[in-house]
Structure 1
Amino acid sequence: MKKKIILLTILAIVLLGGGAGGTYYYAMASRYISTEDARIQGDLRAIYAPGAGKLLEWNYKEGDSFKKGDVLGIVETTPARGNTPAITMDITAPEDGTIIQTNLIKDQMVSPSSALAMSTNLSQLYITANLQETEINDARIGNNVTIKVDAFPGVVLTGHVERLGLGTNSSFSLMPSSSSGGNFTKVIQRIPVRIAIDDNQGKRLVPGLNVVIKIEK
């Protein structure tokens, strides 16, 4: 009799726990759209030399920031005519940004067709989240978003939906899948959603970081 009471008690606890968990999950699903398929991104900009020649000077390394119009380096170009003196040309920043990749060395030869460095504006980062097609109808521009960055455990950032994608990720593929073989397997499609970051709480965010987002319905 005692064992039966213990078993019934354990069963009741399990059922209550499962019911509470199901209720919580339903409440969350009815209020939020959640996904781990999301990353921080920035608009990348390639920096080019204004002409072919020797790199006399390069003033910036990875992590250095600059303002629009700053001189990033100097290139010495040699005109086609041999008796014409070489001229120097400034490499100027087209806009504000931070160098995120470069491997330049002084006196190397450069050309206007090859990128000298890649930059992005770290103050204008955003999040791209890929939502399932069955969820996209509940996403609206302006909806509030909570953001958790894997790199900063325990920190919750805020944002809002800025833009909804106009096509699925697969529709932008250069080689879309074909079902001409006769066998068809339905795959849930994902649509990119751009999320603006309202407050980074002083954290140094960089492109590529994984995040978990919850969009309020």
Structure 2
Amino acid sequence: MKRLTIHLVIWAFVLAAFGGGGYYFQQQARYVITDHAQVWADTVPVVPPAVGKLTEWTVHTGDRVERGAQLGMQEATQPGVAATPITSPISGVVLLTHAVPGQVVPAGRPLAVVADLSQTHVLAYVDERDVTDIRLGQSVEIKLASDRGRTMTGRVAEIGKKAGDDSASRSERADGKTVQYVPVKITVGQAVAMKLIPGVNASIKLERS
């Protein structure tokens, strides 16, 4: 009787394993699924026009700025040259700034990064073998790593023309062969985009065409 019970338990585990494996392969056959994805936003650096001393800086990380708005003032190192205002190149939110009044800033060194959050999107890297199953305008299910219970819907906006452009789009399999990934841009509604946080990891799922 004891041996029969043990056999039943073993068979229960075997059936569960086959059932779980069957579900996994069924999902893979029907959908393109990847967690190699991240929330992105179009960003622009704020760069001083020349070498000079930063005499004023009025914005902080998280501040909303408008295109052309003055963010600070820079005093030229050359005598007789008037101070130069430093302005925002786009309307958006300041994602990062380490500018400190009083520091001498070389030309070309970014003082801040401004992002247009209305254009926030998800950038996913898809196995090159799955790209032919994706089409423009296709509906995509998106889940954020920071909020696993939340599911959003997006649309395929762009499909990369080339795989393996950088280290983020390549990985090595156990057999030593390199897997190439193609970047796929997925957009969401503007109201949703404004609430997304750039840099957050995500996963996507879309039905094979």
TM-score range, shorter chain: 0.7 to 0.9
Q: CA deviation at 1:139?
A: 1.4
Query: CA 1:201/1:101 → structure 2, altered by over 3 Å: closer, same or farther?
Result: closer
Report sequence identity in percent: 31
Q: CA deviation at 1:55?
A: 1.8
Kept in 2, the 8 Å contact 1:100–1:119? The answer is yes
Residues paired across the two proteins, number: 202
What CA distance in whole angstroms lies between the structure 1 residues aligned with 2:45 and 2:194? 25
After superposition, what is the alpha-carbon deviation per residue over 1:9-54, rounded to whole angstroms, capped at 9, x for unaligned?
4455445434432442233223211111111122221111233322
Kept in 1, the 8 Å contact 2:117–2:193? The answer is no
Query: CA 1:31/1:212 → structure 2, altered by over 3 Å: closer, same or farther?
Result: same
What CA distance in whole angstroms lies between the structure 1 residues aligned with 2:27 and 2:94? 40
Q: CA deviation at 1:186?
A: 2.7
Match of residue 210, structure 1, among 191, 201, 204: 201
5 Å-filtered alignment, 1:35-184, equals 35-77=34-76, 80=78, 82=79, 84=80, 86-169=81-164, 171-172=165-166
| Matched position secondary structure for 1:62 | coil
Question: TM-score normalized by structure 2?
Answer: 0.82
After superposition, what is the alpha-carbon deviation per residue over 1:100-152, rounded to whole angstroms, capped at 9, x for unaligned?
22211112222332211122122221122111122111111111111111112
Code of the residue aligned with 1:39 in structure 2: it is: Q
What CA distance in whole angstroms lies between the structure 2 residues aligned with 1:104 and 1:148? 35
Question: TM-score normalized by structure 1?
Answer: 0.79
Q: What are structure 2's unaligned runs of at least 5 residues?
A: none
Code of the residue aligned with 2:186 in structure 1: it is: I
What CA distance in whole angstroms lies between the structure 1 residues aligned with 2:85 and 2:194? 34
User: If each structure's strand is expressed as a fraction of its own residues, which one has the higher value?
Assistant: 2
What CA distance in whole angstroms lies between the structure 1 residues aligned with 2:193 and 2:111? 30
What CA distance in whole angstroms lies between the structure 2 residues aligned with 1:185 and 1:18? 28
Q: CA deviation at 1:172?
A: 4.5
CA RMSD of aligned residues (A): 2.7
Larger Rg: 1
Kept in 1, the 8 Å contact 2:42–2:117? The answer is no
